Amino acid sequence: MPPKNSKSKHQAPRLRSRKARTSSRSNAAHQKEDFFAKAFRLSPHPVGITELETGRCLEINDACLQLYGFQRHEVIGKTTLMLGIWPDPQERAKLIARLQAEGSVRNYDVSMRTKSGAVRHFLISTDLIVLKGKRCLLTVGTDVTARKQAEDALRESRQQLCAIVEGTSDAVFVKDLEGRYRLFNAAAAGFVGKHPDEVLGNDDTLLFSPEEANVLMEGDRQIMAGGHTVTYEDHLTTADQERRIFLATKGPLFDAQGRVSGLFGIARDITDRKRAEELLRQLNETLEQRVTERTAELCTVEARLQLLLHATPVVLYARRASGDYGATFVSANVMEQLGHRPSDFTDRSDFWVTHLHPDDRSWVVANLSHVFEHGQHVHEYRFRHKDGTYRWLHDELRVVRDQDDVPAELIGFQMDVTRRRQAEEEVRVHRTKLERLTAKLLAAQELERQRIARDLHDDVTQRLASLSVDAGALERMCQSEPILLPHCQNIREAAQQLADDVHSFAYRLHPSSLVHLGLEAAIRDHVDEFAQRTGLSVNYVPRHVPKDLPADVATCLYRVTQESLQNVLKHAEASAVAVRLFGTSHGVGVCIHDNGKGFESEGASTRGLGLLSMEERVRLMNGTFHTRTGLGNGTEVHAWVPHRDAAPEPTSGRG
C-alpha cells in the first residue's frame, strides 16, 4: 500500500500544470483587456459604455469628452438624460426599442447637444454587451455635422438653382455629348409646346424641322469641340409655327477630369425687342428726315425772324432767374434801340443792372420778385443809352420753369417808349394847368354866384319889397275907385311874388345856411325847398356828417346834390327821390337815387354838361364820382370826397 502522501506527490505536477494553464489564460485575458482599453481610449471616434437599465455612463473615451465639452467626473455615473445631450428624449427611447428588437444598431442618424448647447449630428452604432454581469450598451459615434451642413447647403443650392432655372423666362437646357437633352426647363418647354418629360432623352429632331435640328446639333458639336462659351442669335420656329429670334448663350460642360461631358444653353426670346429696334430704326430715319426738313424750315423762319427783329422796335431777351439777372440772350436790334451790342449784355452779367437809372435801380430789381409770384410782370424804367442819355423802356417779362417747377429763366421783350413818356409828361403838365384853371373858374363861379346872390338880396330884393309896399299903398288909395282896385291888387301880388322868386333864386345861387349852419342843414333846406317847389317825395337821411367840414368840400357836395336834383326834375320823370349824406372814417359822401326812367349807358354821348361839371368838381377834390343806371331802373349819383389827410375811397358804389 503506498504511503499516505504518495497521492499528493503524484497530484502535485498536475496541479502545477493546471495553475500554469490558468495563469496563461489569465495573462491572455489581461492582454486583451489592455488592448481593448487602449483602443477604447485612443479611438478618434466618441465611444461610451452605459448601463441598459439605468442609463448611467460607466466609461467614456477622451474623444467623446473633447467633442461634448465635459470633464470625466461630470459624466461618469450620470445618465445621458441628466447630462441633457438628447434634444429630444424620445429619440433615445426609439433607439433602445430598436436595439432590444434587433440586438444592434448600425449608422443611426441622431442629433446630440453638447455642453455649450450646440447641436451636432452623429451616425452611431450600438451593441448590447455584458459587463460584470450587467447588460450594457457599447456606443460608437461618428461626427457628421460638417457633412450634414454641407449636404444642407448643397441641397439649398440645388433648390435655389432649380428655382432659378424654372423661374426664369429664359429657356435653360443641358445636353450630353450625343445631343440628348438632360435638363429642359418650363420656359424652354413653352417655346416648343411640349412637356419637359417628353423632351428629356431626345435630341433636337424631336423639336424642330430636320433642317433646323441639323444646324443646331452641328453648332453644338462645334461649341463642345472648341471648348469655349459663345453667344449668338438663333432663328427658330416655335410650337405655334412662328419664326422667332433667340439670343442664345452656349458653352461646354466638364467632368471632374476636365473632359467635356456635355453642353449647357440659355436662350432668350428677343423677337419683340428686335422688332422694336427695327421700328425704332425706321422711326429714327423718319425723324432724321423730318429734322432735316424742319432745320431747313427753321433756317427760313430764322431768316424771317431776323428781318422782323430788324424791322420792329421790340427787343427780345432772356435773363437768368437769380443773382444779378444777367442776360443770356439779346436780339441784335438792341443796337438800334440803345446803341449797345448784344454781347455787351451777355458778356457782363451786371451790365443791365448797372445801366438802370440810379433812381429806378432799387425798385426795378426789387419788383422782379413779382414775376415769380404771378408768372409775369410789366414795368417801365429808364436805361442809359450808349450816348449817355436815358431812354424810357416798357419791359414785359415772364418766368420759364423747369420740370420741377423751379424758375429756370426769364424771357421778355422791351420797347423804347421815351416819346410816349415825354408826351404823357406834357399831357400831365397841361392837365395840371387845366385843373388849376378849372379850379379857378369854379372858384370864380362861386364868387360870382355869391356876388350876384348878395346883390339880388341887398338891392333887387329890397327894391322889389319897396315896390310891393308902394303897390299896397296905391291899392289903399284906390279904394274909392273900384275899377282900378283889381289892377292895383295884381301889381302888389306880382311885386311880392317877384320878390320871393328873386330871394329863392339868390338862395339857390349861394345859400347862406351853407356858410352859417353847415352842409347838413344846407342840403336839408334845399331838399325841403325842392320838394315844396316840385311836389316830389324826397327822403333825406344824414348820418355821421362832420360839423367842421372845409368850405370847398361842403360847397362841392352841395353843388352835386343841387345839380342831381335839378337833373331829376328835368329828365328822370321820377315820383320819389332819396338823398343820403354820410360820413366815413376817410371822408364824406352824398348819394342821390331816384325811381325814374334811367338811361342806357354812361357813354360820352349821354353825359350832359351837368354830369361832367359834377365829376370835374369831385375830381378836383381828389374824390370819386360815378353813376349807376339802367332803363327803367332809375339813376343813382354817388360822390365821395376824402378828408385832407385820407386816401381816396375805392370807387365801388354804395347801395
Dump pLDDT digits (tens) for 477-518.
777 777 777 777 777 777 777 766 665 665 555 566 676 678
Distance, in Å, from the CA atom of 293 to the CA atom of 289, rounded to the nearest integer, reads 6
Quote the pLDDT of residue 555: 83
Over the stretch 78-100, which tens digit does the pLDDT of each residue have? 988 888 888 888 888 888 888 88
Q: Is 82 left (phi over 0), alpha (psi -120 to 50) or beta?
A: alpha
Q: What percent of the chain has pLDDT over 70?
A: 80
Quote the pLDDT of residue 649: 45
What amino acid is encoded at 575 in this protein?
A: S
Contacts of 136 (CB under 8 A, 6+ apart): 49, 50, 51, 52, 58, 128, 129, 130
Of 107-121, 298-312, 319-333, 358-372, the range with the lowest mean pLDDT is 298-312
Q: Give Cα 450 distance to the centre of its chain.
A: 72
* Boundary of a domain, candidates 366, 385, 416: 416
Least Cα distance to 559 among 480, 628, 620, 484 occurs for 620
Question: Does residue 556 share a domain with residue 643?
Answer: yes
Question: Does residue 63 share a domain with residue 22?
Answer: no
Most confident of 226-235, 425-434, 438-447, 609-618: 226-235
Quote the pLDDT of residue 577: 93
Distance, in Å, from the CA atom of 238 to the CA atom of 590, rounded to the nearest integer, reads 95
Distance, in Å, from the CA atom of 460 to the CA atom of 507, rounded to the nearest integer, reads 13
pLDDT above 60 (res 440): yes
Report the CATH number that the domain containing residue 82 is assigned in CATH: 3.30.450.20
Question: Does residue 22 share a domain with residue 50?
Answer: no
Question: Does residue 386 share a domain with residue 335?
Answer: yes
pLDDT band at 21 (very low <50, low <70, confident <90, very high): low
pLDDT band at 207 (very low <50, low <70, confident <90, very high): confident
> Does residue 443 form part of some domain?
no
Quote the pLDDT of residue 100: 84
Higher-pLDDT residue of 593, 103? 593
Higher-pLDDT residue of 377, 503? 377
Question: Does residue 317 share a domain with residue 364?
Answer: yes
Please provide the average confidence, as pLDDT, over all residues in the chain.
Answer: 82
Question: Does residue 520 share a domain with residue 652?
Answer: yes
What's the total number of domains in the chain?
Answer: 5
Quote the pLDDT of residue 359: 94
Q: What is the domain range of residue 653?
A: 513-655
Do residues 574 and 599 touch, judged by C-beta distance below 8 A?
no
Quote the pLDDT of residue 636: 92
Q: What are phi and psi of 413, to 5 degrees?
A: -145, 155
Helix crossing, 609-620 with 418-455: angle to 10°?
100
Quote the pLDDT of residue 604: 42
- Over residues 342-364, the mean pLDDT reads 91
Question: Does residue 196 share a domain with residue 321?
Answer: no
Question: Does residue 524 share a domain with residue 654?
Answer: yes
DSSP 356: B
pLDDT band at 1 (very low <50, low <70, confident <90, very high): very low
> Does residue 445 form part of some domain?
no
Q: Which residue carries 442669335 as its cell?
A: 233
Question: Does residue 26 share a domain with residue 53?
Answer: no
Contacts of 121 (CB under 8 A, 6+ apart): 109, 110, 111, 112, 143, 144, 145, 148
